[in-house]
Amino acid sequence: MNDDTPIMPGPEADEPTEPQESPTREQADDGRDRPRRLLRSSSDRVIAGVSGGLGDYFGVDPIVFRIGFALSIFFGGLGALAYLLLAVFVPTDGDPDATQRLGRRLQGAGFWRAAGLVLIRILAIGGLFGLAGGAAFAVALGWGVPTAILIIVIGALLALAAFRGGARWLIPPAIALAVGGGVAAAANLDFRGGIGERTYHPTSLASIPADGYRLGVGRLVVDLRDLNWRQHPVVNLSTSLGAGQSNVFVPKRVCVVATTHVGAGESEVAGELNDGVDVNHSVGEGTTSRPRLVLDSRVDMGQLRVINSDRASIETPGYGPGPLHTDTAPLRAAEAKACGAG
């Protein structure tokens, strides 16, 4: 330290002090008090206070932005991405929250490191989905008991770790395993029938397996339109599919008597539509009309369609839900005619 250095007067000696920060709010033209910069609201928030902050900044009811963000999810999801970026990089008007701390870390880390952090998080989320899918797959392959035991052991380890400071990092993977395995077990998901596309065109009753047709994952098609229905006026058939699409085609003059179950997805039987979870569908009960198909069919997850049409193609059957399909009224009319004739 040099003792000869002259001591200069500090700015506080003869200069007026500058304010540390400019005011955060100003009077707008319409007389309302608005913030000078965009900040997330700490008081008016549903998720991260983005809509509350935007509403405050623009002098608009935040519900407008909330509706906009919510609607944007159904139109490409750009709004959700914008919300996420605003949540991370726009500070709050109160104490810094978790997303703001994340934003600061990303800003301070530099581009490549920030990109790496984002990539790691994406991979972590993907890993959780992978774990859930793996658990579901294991249960669907018949390993439900080992999967359940694994989940119990992880839960017990987590509980024991609580007395040694905790192991919260174990919670997300354990939840992923439990959710994947639980959904697969509840849906009775069964992948043991194989994977792929199976198309069957039985021409006689003898060629139909006694225990029906079964597929694990994929598309199962049973086309009964080449069957000799005069020779076999009543046909019993059962089909089972784990996940995917199951289609059964019958001539339109055949009455469909069906008992179907869809664990999660949609069911369309002779033009009647149902969807949701645990969809049980009965069609044509008590009918004795001939020719008649008595169908027992289940799909654990996906779509089940019984199409009574002579002209529907296997690849693009039509007559179903979706923008490229046509109305199912012809199928319902054909079913009513076929089942009412007896």
Determine which residue in the list 243, 248, 264, 293 makes contact with another protein, applying CB under 8 A.
264
| Binding of another protein by 263 (CB under 8 A) | yes
| Binding of another protein by 156 (CB under 8 A) | yes
Between 92 and 287, whose beta carbon lies closer to another protein?
92
| Binding of another protein by 166 (CB under 8 A) | yes
Q: How far is the CB of 149 from another protein (least distance, A)?
A: 7
| Binding of another protein by 134 (CB under 8 A) | no
Stretch that binds another protein, among 10-18, 149-157, 303-311, 333-341 (CB under 8 A): 149-157
**Which positions ≥6 away from 37 have C-beta within 8 Å?**
24, 57
Compute the distance between CA of residue 74 and CA of residue 117 in angstroms, rounded to an integer: 28
Between 183 and 234, whose beta carbon lies closer to another protein?
183
| Binding of another protein by 163 (CB under 8 A) | yes
Q: Note whether 170 and 158 are within 8 A (CB).
A: yes
Three-state DSSP class for 324? coil
Determine which residue in the list 28, 46, 277, 329 makes contact with another protein, applying CB under 8 A.
277
Three-state DSSP class for 15? coil
For the chain, what is the largest distance between any 2 Cα atoms, rounded to a whole number of angstroms?
119
| Binding of another protein by 185 (CB under 8 A) | yes
| Binding of another protein by 187 (CB under 8 A) | yes
| Binding of another protein by 148 (CB under 8 A) | yes
Q: DSSP E strands: which ranges in 24-160?
A: 25-27, 33-35
Q: Note whether 235 and 208 are within 8 A (CB).
A: yes
| Binding of another protein by 47 (CB under 8 A) | no
Tally of CA atoms within 13 A in the half-sphere of 12 that contains its CB: 1
Helices 111-140 and 144-161, axial angle in degrees (round to 10) = 130
Q: How far is the CB of 244 from another protein (least distance, A)?
A: 17
Stretch that binds another protein, among 13-21, 141-149, 231-239, 291-299 (CB under 8 A): 141-149
Bridge partners (DSSP) of residue 86 are: none
